[in-house]
Amino acid sequence: MTGSKMDLLVFARGPGLHWALVIMVFGICWRVAVYALARSERDLYWARKQFWLGRGHWQIESYVMHVGLLIVLFGFVPHIQLVRDLTGIGWPGLPIGLVWFAGALTIAAMVAVLIHRPPDEEPRTLRARLDEYFSWLVVLAPLLTGLLAFPHLGGASLTPPWAALLTAHLLSAELLMVWLPFGRLAHLALMPLLRGAARALALMGIEAN
C-alpha cells in the first residue's frame, strides 16, 4: 500500500469520522431548532411538509429498503463496535450472512424504488429533483462499497483491494452523515424526533395540533 492510500485511510478512520459526526449532530440540532422556532402553527408534525415522502412513495420496495438499512446499520458487528466506542452502549450483532443478505436486498430495493418511482403529484423544482437523486446515490455508495469490502473483513493485512474498498466505504459513509441533516434524508432523523416530542408533550398534557 502506498503512503497516500494509508494516509487517506487513517484520515477516514480518524478526523474524517470525527468531523462527520460533529457536522451531523450540529445539522440535526440546527434543523430542529429552526423549524421549532420558525413554525407558524402549533403542529409538531410541521416537518412532514418538508420531509415526509407521501403515501405514493411507500411501495413494498420502500419498506424492504428501510428495513434492510436498519439491519445493516444496527446489526453489523463492526457498526455496533463503533457505537460502543463512541457511547459505551452496545448490543449483540446479527449473523454476518444475514447482514450481507440484507445489504444486497437493500441495494436491489433501492434500484427498484428508482425504477418504479411514482409520478410526481405536483411540479417540483430542479433543486428538489437533484436532492432526491443525490440522496439516493449517497445512500447507495456506502452500501455498495461495504458489500464489496465485506469478503475481505478479517484479513491478515491491509492490502489492496481491501484497504481501498474500506477507505471508499468509510468516506462514503461520512459523506452520508454530513448530508443527512441537510437534504431529503433528514426525515430519517427528524420524523422520529418529532414523533417523540409529540408523545412527550401529550404525556405532559400539552396539546399539539
The candidate with the shortest Cα–Cα distance to 100, out of 149, 141, 60, is: 149
pLDDT in tens, 81-107: 988 988 889 999 999 889 989 999 999
Give the model's confidence band at 148: pLDDT under 50 very low, under 70 low, under 90 confident, else very high: confident
Q: State pTM to two decimals.
A: 0.76
100: its cell numbers: 450481507
181: its cell numbers: 441533516
Domain residue limits, the chain: 1-55+123-209, 60-117
Q: Can you give the pLDDT at residue 200?
A: 63
Segment 66-78 shows an average pLDDT of 91
The burial of 180, by beta-carbon neighbours within 10 Å (0-12 exposed, 13-18 middle, 19 or more buried), is given as buried
Cα separation, 100 vs 83, whole angstroms: 19
Residue 206: in which H helix or E strand, if any? none
